[in-house]
Structure 1
Amino acid sequence: MKPIKLVSFILLIVANVGCQNTVQEKAQNSALQEQTKVSSMPKVSVQLYSVRDSLKKDFIGTLKEIASFGFEGVEFAGVFGPYENDPQGLKKLLDELGLKVSGAHVSFKHFTEEKFNRTVEFYRALEAPMLIVPWDDRSIDPDKIDEFAKDLTELSKKLSAYGMKTGYHNHDDEFAEFKDSTYWDYLARSTPSDVVLQLDVGWAIYAGKDPVSYVKRYPGRTLTTHYKAKLPKGASDKLPLIGQDAIDWESLIQSNIAVGGTQWLVVEQEDYPNGLSPLESVRVSKRGLDLILQKMKLK
């Protein structure tokens, strides 16, 4: 056996240590990625507009049903039953049911100078993190969209003082062509990054757009996403229920987690196929989403 020179011996030791460090680093990185994957998994809520008629008939009973489906939160849309003037009482009920408030749909008429404080205090009591504007005619008006973008930006600044965010929710109209892209793109580019882009997946699909590409196009701005199984125009071989439709939910979920900064997946049901009631449709879509998450090992 030839004697090993000192320099060669030192290099050999350094190489071995380097290999060990590389293995350790890979293990640490893998563990960190696993932690990130778990910690960044969005929670699942339901847009209560889906069951608005049930809420009007039996507000408390409907929320109990929602909780029994395994939802972690709810997104309000203007129906509060007996708690319309009692946000503290509503918060107590939600706590008892194990439900958080993922956000609420609140139109600009509730943010006038006369109503702003009351609106903010109501939703602060519910610990709602996001107050999303659900629709505004100006969003698809070539002459008024700049005014709308300015108002959204100002509202975002005002709400940030209370630890809350605002944003906008799309329908299909916002994906119509405007200038060099669409109204939705123009609005996104005309507002700061802290204005939430609440992507409604169903309406994007209905408009012939790929929701995954829109999540990726605006990193960190899709803090909340409406998971609505809406069929493309002319489709009839699928059902508008999550898991029974044609949407690539796995790719969307991956994009929400990796790029969108998404905190809440909000199930919304506006179609009730095969004679299903709104509550039954919500339950079926929630179960469909659960199965997809289980397949992805995220649940």
Structure 2
Amino acid sequence: MKNKLVLIALIILTISQISCSTQKNKRVIPPLSVQLWSVKDQIKIDYKGTLKKLSAMGFSGVEFANEFGPFKNKPEDLQQYLSSLNLQASGAHVSFKALNEENFKKTVSFYQKLGVDSLIIGWDKRSWHPEGVKEVVILLNKIAKKLAPYNMKTGFHNHDHEFNSFNNSTYWDYIAQNTSQNVILQLDVGWVVYAGKDPVEYVKRYPGRTITTHYKSRIPEAMKTDHKKLPIIGQDSADWSSLLKANSTIGGTKWIVVEQEEYPNNLSSLEAVALSKKGLDAYINNL
């Protein structure tokens, strides 16, 4: 009888451990957001309706790209509307100009009311210029210090040019190695793959820095003749499973941000986003 009780206890313990392990694995996957540039056509036509559709797809957040529709001067109202849809603001793309001496306080105030704590520089052509990249680094470090008292961070978003060769490495490596640890390296997976680099390697190279990561599919030029490959997550060649694991365990990633810039086979922007979301969900469910 005693042995039987011990056996039952061991079985219960094993089941409990499996259950806890499963729940833990689910918890480590960051929530999914969507960059609103993905639906830039629809958002201008029907701002509130588009947000509602994105929420219905199962997204937990949105990343802004300087389009606010009827809420242009009403960040608090927009925050309330997001909340009504069970959405959060995962971040925003801004320019260096928006964070210069003249505009800093106004920009910070607006995004604080909206609930944004990550202001990412989405584009600056100096970032792939031998002298310009040094200016970018100085600005990022300066802005990071200014934002710290507001519990906000800045960061930089790559395109393919940042992976051009520079100083026996790349411009992206120069930015990463010369900015403070609290500057977000928002890796755009699509552009990394397009540039012929491995996004998983870059997450691992700079642990804890990919606080937000853009999950975008982009087909490299060499593979565009393969018509079975499409710029849709799950219908491309990227190793999304390995990336999810790297983001969850090494990157310090708090948000995975789906971005859709191409709409193959005459898909609407919302249809393409929905397909990429579905493809990403499949990878997450199979981890």
Number of residue equivalences: 272
Task: Mark the CA change 1:241 to 1:160 in structure 2 (over 3 Å): closer, same or farther.
Answer: same
- Indicate the residue corresponding to 2:80 in structure 1: 92
Between the aligned partners of 2:104 and 2:21, the Cα distance in structure 1 is 42
Which of 230, 250, 268 pairs up with 1:277? 268
Identity among equivalent pairs (%): 53
- Indicate the residue corresponding to 2:124 in structure 1: 136
Between the aligned partners of 1:227 and 1:150, the Cα distance in structure 2 is 27
Superimposed CA distance per residue, residues 74-120 of structure 1 (whole angstroms, 9 cap, x where no aligned partner): 00000000101000110111000110011000111111222111110
- The answer to whether residue 179 in structure 2 is matched with residue 188 in structure 1 is no
Q: Say whether the 8 Å CA contact 1:220–1:259 is kept in structure 2.
A: yes
Structure 1 gaps of 5+ residues are 1-25
- The answer to whether residue 276 in structure 2 is matched with residue 288 in structure 1 is no
Superposition pairs for residues 85-234 of structure 1, below 5 Å?
A: 85-234=73-222
Runs of 4+ in 1 over 4 A off after TM superposition: 26-36
- Indicate the residue corresponding to 1:249 in structure 2: 240
Task: Mark the CA change 1:274 to 1:191 in structure 2 (over 3 Å): closer, same or farther.
Answer: same
Look up the SS of the partner of 1:234 in the other structure: helix
1:105 partner letter: H
- The answer to whether residue 30 in structure 2 is matched with residue 42 in structure 1 is yes
1:118 partner letter: K
Q: Say whether the 8 Å CA contact 2:29–2:244 is kept in structure 1.
A: no
Deviation (angstroms), 1:33: 6.2
Deviation (angstroms), 1:144: 2.1
- The answer to whether residue 61 in structure 2 is matched with residue 73 in structure 1 is yes
Q: Say whether the 8 Å CA contact 1:197–1:222 is kept in structure 2.
A: yes
- More displaced, 113-122 or 172-181? 113-122
Look up the SS of the partner of 1:105 in the other structure: strand
Between the aligned partners of 1:27 and 1:68, the Cα distance in structure 2 is 34
Q: Say whether the 8 Å CA contact 1:40–1:263 is kept in structure 2.
A: no
Deviation (angstroms), 1:234: 2.5
Deviation (angstroms), 1:137: 1.7
Between the aligned partners of 1:36 and 1:109, the Cα distance in structure 2 is 42
Between the aligned partners of 1:39 and 1:165, the Cα distance in structure 2 is 24
2:187 partner letter: L
Which of 248, 255, 258 pairs up with 1:264? 255
Between the aligned partners of 1:29 and 1:180, the Cα distance in structure 2 is 48
Task: Mark the CA change 1:217 to 1:27 in structure 2 (over 3 Å): closer, same or farther.
Answer: farther
Between the aligned partners of 1:27 and 1:63, the Cα distance in structure 2 is 41
Between the aligned partners of 1:166 and 1:193, the Cα distance in structure 2 is 11
2:141 partner letter: T
Deviation (angstroms), 1:38: 3.9
1:120 partner letter: V
Q: Say whether the 8 Å CA contact 2:118–2:152 is kept in structure 1.
A: yes
Between the aligned partners of 1:180 and 1:118, the Cα distance in structure 2 is 40
Q: Say whether the 8 Å CA contact 1:225–1:265 is kept in structure 2.
A: yes
Deviation (angstroms), 1:34: 5.8
Q: Pairwise CA RMSD of aligned residues?
A: 1.8
TM-score (norm 2): 0.91
Q: Say whether the 8 Å CA contact 1:212–1:255 is kept in structure 2.
A: yes
1:258 partner letter: T
